[in-house]
Amino acid sequence: MQKRFVSLWFPYLLTDWTTIQKPELKDKPLVLVAPKHNRLTVTAASALAEAQGIGPGTTAADAKAVIPGLDVLNEVPGTAARLLKRAGEWCIRYSPAVACDLPDGLIIDASGCAHLWGGEKAYLHTILRAFKEKGFYVRGAIADTAGAAWAVSRFGKNGQVVPPGEQAHALLTFPPAALRLESEILERLQKLGFYSIQKFLGIPRTALRRRFGEPLLLRLDQALGQRDEALQLLQPVEPYQERLPFLEPIRTAPAIEQAILKLLEMLCLRLQKEGKGLRSAVLKGFRIDGKTLSLSIGTNRPSAQVSHLFKLFELKIPQIEPALGIELFTLEAPKVEDLSTEQEALWASKECGLEHTALAELLDRIANKLGSEAIKRYLPQERYWPEQSIRTAKSLTEKSASSWRTGKRRPSLLLPQPERIEVSALLPDNPPMLFIYKGKRHVVKKADDAERIEREWWHDQGQHRDYYIVEDEEGCRYWLFRSGHYDGQQSQWYIHGFFA
């Protein structure tokens, strides 16, 4: 396979990152400084500051004299390395082989990757556009070698793709600095009048070695592809991902089902070996027209059962539009958890509690068909007000520190917030004789004694509530309360729930 490399150069990496964090500095000249030889020296300058003659190495005092309104911030050591590592890990979506090129670049081994984006030019422009949308100014190039791509990205046309085997021709007019040489060698070349690479490219190697040493020949050979260059590739945490390419694009539903089943078998086998189960999974299909399809599922409990997970994807297969065909499927589990080992029962039990796998699988199918928001589980919490005494559970297995209160009757349907009603009642503390709710008049036939619920004084100040369970002439039962004591004026009454 023909080797191809992408070089990305971020000339304003630190200042771009600063303006992303502080948008108010975007249209202002900006420099970052650090102490050097007992004085503050510019280490990074924005494009606006550079256009006015300020660059790395300028003292902060001189920079302020040239640009009176200059914004000067302190550089945080190690920021460039951290940013490049994060950018490199993000670029792994374009290639599995990415290396940081300190202090301001990335090298991507793009061999065999560009066709997924419609060719090398579209591949490179996709990467450049993605970083531009994030707020970074970036230059890039593609060539047969990392050295040639590095040179073209910095001294050639932005977005240039050097044809295979043409790296020597592309380097001819570039200065010697395009070979990543040390400053001493560059000074020696300039003194002898070698202002471009073509000036010394034809000189015998023995003469170049005698005059400039082995480093010049090494960099020249690496750029021309005559010697391999070892890259220190980023090693991110290996994701739970499986890939399934196809020799011929697939289009039919049975073929897609078989592909998903194969991916699930490979992924679940790995999860089972590690004692893990997935909580979410993302299926991506890469079509030959360059578009990417995506489906996702979620589970209430960690699962590594192929049959169950396939049923969840099976509900969404009709959403896949293969068009001219899908040439690659990937299945990734971004969220995994430890899989608890369950004891096998000697005989079948009719009980089906929260720990039962069948219940979790049923909820998974419902959630993936109707949406996760359609299912909620509630737990008790230590609060007085009824609407605050419950909370939504984060998972099917989450436990509560308190237990449900069963000493008092509570409505089967509790309103999120009490609603005002008009009430006629014998004073002072009798239950209501009738009430009007949403324009309908209800005559109370039966009523229980009042249940007083106090307000939590350590949270806020206010009135207590006196709750009544009442039944109207139609046999419907309601949960009403009066707020506070009767004070001789019209009391405030509310409806808070309905009994079955």
183-231: per-residue pLDDT in tens? 999 999 999 999 999 999 889 999 999 999 999 999 999 999 999 998 9
> 119: left (phi > 0), else alpha (psi -120 to 50), else beta?
left
The whole-angstrom separation of Cα 399 and Cα 397 is 6
DSSP string across 158-197: TTEEPPTT-HHHHHTTS-GGGG---HHHHHHHHHTT--SG
Q: How many helices (H) and strands (E) does the chain have?
A: 13, 21
Give the tokens for residue 363. Answer: 């909820």
Geometric angle at alpha carbon 139, from 135 and 144, rounded to 5°: 140
* CB neighbourhood size of 193 (10 A): 8
- Which segment, 236-250, 414-428, 463-477, is predicted with the most confidence on average? 463-477
Residues pairing with 293 in the sheet = 285
The whole-angstrom separation of Cα 177 and Cα 478 is 84
pLDDT band at 130 (very low <50, low <70, confident <90, very high): very high
Length, in residues, of the chain: 500
Cβ neighbors of 38 (< 8 A, separation 6 or more) are none
* CB neighbourhood size of 21 (10 A): 9
The whole-angstrom separation of Cα 15 and Cα 59 is 17
DSSP string across 16-73: HHHHHH-GGGTTS-EEEEEEETTEEEEEEE-HHHHHTT--TT-BHHHHHHH-TT-EEE
The per-residue b/e assignment along 252-272, b for 16 or more CB within 10 angstroms, e otherwise, is eeebbeebbeebbeebbeebe
Whether residue 123 is predicted with pLDDT greater than 70 in this model: the reply is yes
Query: Cβ(437)–Cβ(421) under 8 Å?
Result: yes
- DSSP annotation of 212 reads H
367-389: per-residue pLDDT in tens? 777 776 777 777 888 787 788 78
Q: Which stretches of 385-486 are assigned E, i.e. beta strand?
A: 390-392, 413-425, 432-437, 440-447, 451-453, 465-472, 477-483
Give the tokens for residue 408. Answer: 């008092």
DSSP-derived 3-state class of residue 330:
strand
The whole-angstrom separation of Cα 414 and Cα 275 is 41
| 381-385-387-391 Cα dihedral, nearest 10 degrees | -10
Q: Which of 22, 20, 32 is nearest to 132 (CA)?
A: 20
Average pLDDT taken over every residue of the chain: 88
All domains of the chain, ordered by start, with CATH?
1-28+69-236 (3.30.70.270), 241-338 (3.30.1490.100), 413-498 (no CATH)
Residues pairing with 495 in the sheet = 419, 480
pLDDT band at 347 (very low <50, low <70, confident <90, very high): very low
Q: Which long-range contacts (CB under 8 A, 24 or more apart) does 46-53 make?
A: 46/12, 46/15, 46/16, 46/19, 47/12, 47/15, 47/137, 49/15, 50/12
* CB neighbourhood size of 230 (10 A): 8
Give the tokens for residue 216. Answer: 């010049």
156-183: per-residue pLDDT in tens? 999 999 999 999 999 999 999 999 999 9
The pTM assigned to this predicted structure is 0.54
Whether residue 346 is predicted with pLDDT greater than 50 in this model: the reply is no
Give the model's pLDDT for residue 344. 46
| 270-271-274-279 Cα dihedral, nearest 10 degrees | 160
The whole-angstrom separation of Cα 380 and Cα 499 is 19
Give the model's pLDDT for residue 420. 92
4-40: per-residue pLDDT in tens? 999 999 999 999 999 999 999 989 999 999 998 889 9
